[in-house]
Chain A
Amino acid sequence: GENVEQHPSTLSVQEGDSAVIKCTYSDSASNYFPWYKQELGKRPQLIIDIRSNVGEKKDQRIAVTLNKTAKHFSLHITETQPEDSAVYFCAASNQFYFGTGTSLTVIP
C-alpha cells in the first residue's frame, strides 16, 4: 500500500514569511494528492489538491507542487498569517492514509 511521509513535524515562521511542507510517497501509481488543514479542536478540511497531470496548482496564498519523478509534493503558504496556524496533513491517491502531520505556528 501507499506510504506517505511528511516533513517537518513542526514549523514556526514569522508572520509574513513563507512556509513549506513536504511529503513523499511510495506508490508511483498514485495520481491525486490532497492537503488538509486542521485547526485546533476542529475537523480536517481540504484546502488544495493536485492531480498527477500537472506540476503546480495555486490558490491565492497557497500552492502545491508535484514532482512525480522524485515522488514528492509540497505545500507552499506565502505571506503567512496567524490564522494559518494549524496542523496540515497530506495524503496520496487513496487518501485514507495521511502523512504524519505538520504543526504550523505563525508568530505575529
Chain B
Amino acid sequence: GAVVSQHPSRVICKSGTSVKIECRSLDFQATTMFWYRQFPKQSLMLMATSNEGSKATYEQGVEKDKFLINHASLTLSTLTVTSAHPEDSSFYICSAPHRAGQGGDLTKTQYFGPGTRLLVL
C-alpha cells in the first residue's frame, strides 16, 4: 500500500528557532498534501493544503508567515515553523491522498505520515 514518511519524528528546539518538517510520499506521487496539528486525544486540525508547484492554501486562523509550506516536488512537502514558541509545541502530521480504487473508482484514501512531535522550550 501507499506509504507516507515524515521526518523528524521528534524535535526539541529553543524558543525563537525555526524547525523544518518533511513529508514524503514514498511510492506514489502526491500533487496535494495536507498538514495537520493535533493535541492529545483531540482531532486533526487542518492547517493548510500543500499544492505542488503553487502556493499553499491556509485555513482560517493559521499564520502563513509562521507556518511556511513548500511543495517542491510530487513527493515532498515541507512545513517550517518559524520563530517557534512554546505554544507551537504540538504533534504535526501530514497526509497525502492516493487513489486506492479500481476502474472508475476515483476515491482517494488519505495516507498519513507518522507525525512529528515538536517541543519548544
Q: Which residues of A contact B (CB under 8 A)?
A: 6, 32, 34, 36, 42-46, 49, 51, 87, 89, 91, 95-101, 103
| Contact in complex: A43, B109 (CB < 8 Å) | no
List the count of A-B residue pairs having beta carbons below 8 Å apart.
Answer: 50
Q: Is the CB–CB distance between A43 and B115 below 8 Å?
A: yes
B41 → chain A, closest Cβ, in Å?
5
Residues of A within 8 A of B62 (CB): none
Q: Given A32-B107, A101-B43, A45 and B34 touching (CB < 8 A)?
A: no
Please name the residue on chain B nearest to A91 by beta carbon.
B110
Interfacial chain A residues near B44, Cβ < 8 Å: 44, 89, 98, 101
- Chain A residues, Cβ within 8 Å of B93: 43-44
Interface of B, secondary structure class, is: strand
With beta carbons under 8 angstroms apart, the residue of A45, A97, A101 that contacts B112 is: A45
A96 and B109 contacting across the interface, CB-CB below 8 Å = no
Q: How far is the CB of B100 from chain A (nearest CB, A)?
A: 9
B29-59 CB mask vs A (1 if < 8 Å, else 0) is 0000010000001111010010000000000
A97 B46 Cβ-Cβ under 8 A: yes
Q: Which residues of chain A are near B99, meaning CB under 8 Å?
A: none
Identify A46's interface contact among B34, B41, B46, B109, CB under 8 A.
Answer: B109
Complex formed: what's the CA distance from A34 to B114 in Å? Answer: 19
Q: Is B108's beta carbon under 8 Å from chain A? A: yes
8 cross-chain CB contacts under 8 A: A34-B109, A45-B112, A46-B109, A51-B107, A89-B44, A101-B41, A101-B42, A101-B43
Question: What is the CB-to-nearest-CB distance from B107 to chain A, in angstroms, rounded to a whole number?
Answer: 5
Selected from B41, B42, B110, B113, the residue in CB contact (under 8 A) with A95 is B110
- Give CA–CA (A99, B46) in the complex, Å: 11
Task: Closest A residue to B108 by CB, please name it.
Answer: A95
Bound Cα distance from A51 to B108, whole angstroms = 12
Closest chain B CB from A108 CB (angstroms)? 20
Q: Collect the chain B residues with CB atoms within 8 Å of residue A98's CB.
A: 43-44, 46
